[in-house]
C-alpha cells in the first residue's frame, strides 16, 4: 500500500505494534546512536525520538526487521520479486494485455504542476541547524545526513538519478556529498564539470519508505528509481518541481533541501565516518553542496539510520535486495541462476553466494566471470557458486559443499578488479584482489584424469532397503526406529505417541 509521507507510515507502525516513542530528551550527538545500536542488535522496534532539541522528531530503524521491511514496501520482498518476474515474463513473451499496460502506467512517475505537499513550509533563510542531524560514532568527522536521497540530472542526456550518498554537515549552509567514483551521482558531477556549469542538486528525506529503498537499489543507470518505487507501491509517484531549480522531487517528501555543487571549487576533506563495514571509512576529498532553499511538509519527520558493526538496519535492506533482484539477474544476465544470497557478515558487497542449474563444463566459472562484471555485483570481493539441492543460507551445509567440491588449484579464480571504496582491507581504495570459487559438482569434461567421469554423491538408502530394516526384529540393538505418519503436512503426534508406547519395554 502506498504511504503519504512518513506520518502515514508511523501510523501503520503503531497499528502493528512496531514503534516506540521516546519523549525524554535524547541528544542527536552520540546518544541516539548508542540507544539505536542496542535496539537494532536486540531485534527491537522502530524508534521515534520526539525530544531532540529541534522541531523535527527523528525516525530510525524503520527497516530493521523482516516485518518492518515488508510494511515499508507494502508487501514482502518475496511478493515484489514474484510480481517483477511475472511482469517481465509476460512482457518478454510478447503480451500486451491491459493488465501489463496498467502496470507500466503505474511505474512511470507523474509530474504535477502545483505546489507540493513537501513545499507546505518554505524557509526564507537557509539554516541546516534546524534539523537533528546525527553524529553516530565518537571519531566521526562531524554530523551526517545518513538517509538522504540525492537527486541529480545529467547535463546533456537529461537522465535522472536518485542515489543514497551520505552528507557531512560543514556549516549551516553547506555539506559534503559522498558519492563514490563508481556511482551515478559522481558520473553526473564529471559531466557538469566538462560543460563548466554549476550542478543542480535536490536532497529528499522521507516520503513513502519505498523511495528510500529504491535509492539504495542496484538499478542500471538508465532506470529511474521512482519507476521501481511506483512498481512496488502499485501507484505512480507524483513529482513536483523544486523552488530554486528544475529538479523533480516526490510530492509527499517530508523534507527537501535544494542547492547546487560547483565543480570548479576545491573539494572538501570529508570523514572519517563509522561505516557499515564495522570500521571507520577514512577521510577523502568530495564535492561541497551549497543549500539554496529548504522546504518541508507541515508535520515533517527527520528520517535517519546508523551503520556500524553488522548486523544493522542496512542488513535488512540488503536482504530485500537479494530477493527482489534475483529475477532481473536471471532474466537479464544469467538464466541458470536459481538463488542469490548476500550474507550480512559480508556487508552486502564483500561476499555473495549463487546457486545455479548446471548443465555443462565450466559453467561455474562462466557465472563468476559474468557477475564480476555486472553492475554493482562487480564490487563483490568473494563470490561462491554452487549447484544442486542445497539451501545456500544453511552455512554448515554450504561450507561442506565448498570443501567437498573444490580443488583449490583448479576451482579458484583470482582476479584484480574494482572494489567498494569503503573496503578497508585493500592496498588501494576501490581496487584490489577478488576471489571466485567454483564449488559446483564437477561433471564429465571437468574431471579429465578420472575414469569415472563425474562426481557421485552418497544419497539416502533405497526405499526397499529401508522397509526391510523396519520389518526386522531389532530388540537387541541399542536404538529403535520411528517412522511417524504425516498429518496435514506435519507429524501425526498421536501416531508418534503410539509408536513410542510400543517401544516402552526397551526402557525399563
pLDDT tens per residue across all 508 residues of the chain: 689 999 999 999 999 999 999 999 999 999 999 999 999 999 999 999 999 999 999 999 999 999 999 999 999 999 998 888 887 776 655 555 555 555 666 688 999 999 999 999 999 899 999 999 999 999 999 999 999 999 999 999 999 999 999 999 999 999 999 998 889 999 999 999 999 999 999 999 999 999 999 999 988 888 899 999 999 998 999 999 999 999 999 999 999 999 999 999 999 999 999 998 888 988 999 999 999 999 999 999 999 999 988 889 999 999 999 899 887 777 777 889 999 998 888 777 789 999 999 999 999 999 999 888 887 788 889 999 999 889 999 999 999 999 999 998 999 999 998 887 777 777 777 788 999 999 999 988 887 666 555 566 666 777 787 677 666 655 555 555 555 555 555 556 566 555 555 544 444 4
Confidence (pTM) = 0.83
* C-alpha of 488 from chain center: 36
451 located within any domain: no
Whether 423 and 502 share a structural domain: no
Query: Is the sign of the CA dihedral 367, 368, 370, 374 positive or negative?
Result: positive
**C-alpha cell recorded at residue 377:** 555485483
Q: Are strands 351-356 and 382-387 parallel, antiparallel or unpaired?
A: parallel
- Around Cβ 229, how many Cβ atoms within 10 Å? 28
Q: What is the pLDDT of residue 94?
A: 54
Cell 542445497 belongs to residue: 390
100 located within any domain: yes
Helical segments of 169-307, H only: 184-195, 209-216, 225-233
340 three-state secondary structure? strand
Q: What is the pLDDT of residue 412?
A: 94
313 located within any domain: no
Active site positions, annotated:
275
407 located within any domain: yes
Whether 201 and 283 share a structural domain: yes
**Rg, C-alpha atoms of the chain:** 27
Per the CB < 8 A criterion, the answer to whether 47 and 26 are in contact is no
Query: Is the sign of the CA dihedral 137, 139, 144, 149 positive or negative?
Result: negative
Whether 371 and 279 share a structural domain: no
Whether 296 and 180 share a structural domain: yes
Whether 128 and 237 share a structural domain: yes
344 located within any domain: yes
SS3 of 95-118: the string is CCCHHHHHHHHHHCCEECCCCCHH
Q: What is the pLDDT of residue 505?
A: 45
* CATH, residue 98: 2.30.110.10
Whether 279 and 403 share a structural domain: no
Beta carbons within 8 Å of 70's beta carbon, 6+ residues apart: 76, 77
Q: How far apart are CA 309 and CA 302, in angstroms?
A: 23
Instruction: Give CA angle at 217 (422, 367), nearest 5°.
Output: 80
Q: Closest Cα partner for 273 from 67, 121, 155, 133? A: 133
Whether 67 and 119 share a structural domain: yes
Whether 339 and 425 share a structural domain: yes
* CATH, residue 425: 3.40.1670.10
364 three-state secondary structure? helix
SS3 of 382-423: the string is EEEEEECCCCCCCHHHHHHHHHHHCCCCCCEEEEEEECCCCC
Q: Are strands 351-356 and 337-341 parallel, antiparallel or unpaired?
A: antiparallel
Query: Is the sign of the CA dihedral 389, 395, 398, 404 positive or negative?
Result: negative
Beta carbons within 8 Å of 72's beta carbon, 6+ residues apart: 9, 62, 63, 209, 210, 212, 213
309 located within any domain: no
Query: Is the sign of the CA dihedral 69, 75, 78, 80 positive or negative?
Result: negative
360 located within any domain: yes
310 located within any domain: no
**C-alpha cell recorded at residue 234:** 502499485
Whether 45 and 190 share a structural domain: yes
Q: What is the pLDDT of residue 470?
A: 67
Query: Is the sign of the CA dihedral 305, 371, 222, 260 positive or negative?
Result: positive
Which residues form the domain of 255?
A: 6-304
Whether 260 and 339 share a structural domain: no
Q: How far apart are CA 226 and CA 466, in angstroms?
A: 57
Q: What is the pLDDT of residue 413?
A: 93
489 φ/ψ sector (left φ>0, alpha ψ -120 to 50, else beta): left
Helix (H) or strand (E) holding 135: none
Q: What is the pLDDT of residue 63?
A: 97
Q: How far apart are CA 167 and CA 271, in angstroms?
A: 10
Whether 180 and 287 share a structural domain: yes
Q: Closest Cα partner for 273 from 145, 154, 379? A: 145
Q: How far apart are CA 147 and CA 165, in angstroms?
A: 8
Helical segments of 247-349, H only: 313-324, 326-332
SS3 of 428-446: the string is ECCEEEEEEEECCCCCCCC
Q: How far apart are CA 348 and CA 423, in angstroms?
A: 11
Whether 82 and 225 share a structural domain: yes
Question: Residue 487 pairs with which residues in a beta bridge?
Answer: 490
> What is the number of domains present in the chain?
3
Amino acid at each position: 500500500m502506498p504511504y503519504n509521507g512518513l506520518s502515514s507510515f508511523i501510523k501503520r507502525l503503531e497499528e502493528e505494534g512496531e514503534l516506540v516513542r521516546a519523549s525524554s530528551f535524547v541528544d542527536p550527538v552520540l546518544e541516539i546512536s548508542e540507544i539505536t545500536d542496542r535496539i537494532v542488535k536486540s531485534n527491537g522496534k522502530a524508534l521515534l525520538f520526539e525530544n531532540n532539541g529541534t522541531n523535527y522528531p527523528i525516525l530510525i530503524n524503520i527497516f530493521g526487521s523482516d516485518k518492518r521491511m515488508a510494511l515499508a514496501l507494502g508487501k514482502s520482498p518475496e511478493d515484489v520479486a514474484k510480481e517483477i518476474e511475472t511482469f517481465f515474463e509476460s512482457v518478454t513473451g510478447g503480451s500486451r494485455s491491459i493488465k501489463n499496460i496498467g502496470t507500466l502506467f503505474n511505474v512511470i512517475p507523474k509530474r504535477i504542476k502545483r505546489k507540493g505537499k513537501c513545499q507546505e513550509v518554505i524557509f526564507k533563510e537557509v539554516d541546516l541547524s534546524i534539523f537533528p542531524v546525527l553524529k553516530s560514532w565518537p571519531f566521526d568527522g562531524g554530523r551526517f545526513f545518513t538517509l538522504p536521497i540525492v537527486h541529480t540530472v545529467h547535463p546533456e542526456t537529461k537522465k535522472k538519478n536518485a542515489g543514497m550518498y551520505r552528507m557531512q554537515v560543514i556549516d549551516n549552509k553547506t555539506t559534503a556529498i559522498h558519492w563514490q567514483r563508481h556511482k551515478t551521482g559522481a558520473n553526473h558531477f564529471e559531466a557538469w564539470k566538462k560543460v563548466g556549469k554549476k550542478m543542480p542538486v535536490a536532497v529528499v528525506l522521507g516520503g513513502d519508505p519505498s523511495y528510500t529503498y529504491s535509492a539504495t537499489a542496484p538499478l542500471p543507470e538508465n532506470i529511474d528509481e521512482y519507476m521501481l518505487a511506483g512498481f512496488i507501491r502499485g501507484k505512480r509517484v507524483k513529482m513536483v518541481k523544486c523552488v530554486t531549480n528544475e529538479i523533480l522531487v516526490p510530492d509527499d517528501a517530508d523534507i527537501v533541501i535544494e542547492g547546487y555543487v560547483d565543480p570548479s571549487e576545491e573539494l572538501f576533506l570529508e570523514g572519517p565516518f563509522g561505516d557499515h563495514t564495522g570500521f571507520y571509512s577514512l577521510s577523502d576529498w568530495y564535492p561541497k553542496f551549497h543549500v539554496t532553499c529548504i522546504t518541508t511538509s507541515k508535520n515533517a519527520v527527520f528520517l535517519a539510520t546508523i551503520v556500524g558493526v553488522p548486523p544493522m538496519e542496512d542488513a535488512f535492506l540488503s536482504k530485500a535486495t537479494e530477493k527482489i533482484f534475483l529475477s532481473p539477474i536471471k532474466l537479464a544476465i544469467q538464466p541458470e541462476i536459481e538463488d542469490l544470497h548476500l550474507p550480512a557478515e559480508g556487508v552486502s558487497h564483500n561476499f555473495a553466494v549463487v546457486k545455479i542449474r548446471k548443465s555443462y563444463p565450466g559453467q561455474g566459472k562462466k557465472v563468476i566471470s559474468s557477475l564480476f562484471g555486472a553492475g554493482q555485483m562487480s564490487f563483490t570481493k568473494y563470490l561462491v557458486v554452487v549447484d544442486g539441492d542445497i539451501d545456500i543460507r544453511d552455512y554448515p551445509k554450504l561450507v561442506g559443499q565448498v570443501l567437498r567440491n573444490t580443488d583449490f588449484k583448479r576451482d579458484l579464480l583470482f582476479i584484480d578488479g574494482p572494489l567498494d571504496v569503503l573496503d578497508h582491507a585493500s592496498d588501494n581504495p576501490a581496487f584490489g584482489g577478488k576471489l571466485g570459487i567454483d564449488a559446483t559438482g564437477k561433471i564429465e569434461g571437468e574431471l579429465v584424469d578420472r575414469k569415472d567421469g563425474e562426481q557421485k554423491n552418497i544419497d539416502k538408502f533405497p526405499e526397499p532397503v529401508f522397509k526391510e530394516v523396519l520389518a526386522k526384529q531389532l530388540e537387541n540393538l541399542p536404538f529403535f526406529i520411528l517412522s511417524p505418519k504425516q498429518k496435514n503436512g506435519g507429524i501425526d503426534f498421536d501416531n508418534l505417541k503410539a509408536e513410542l508406547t510400543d517401544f516402552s519395554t526397551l526402557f525399563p
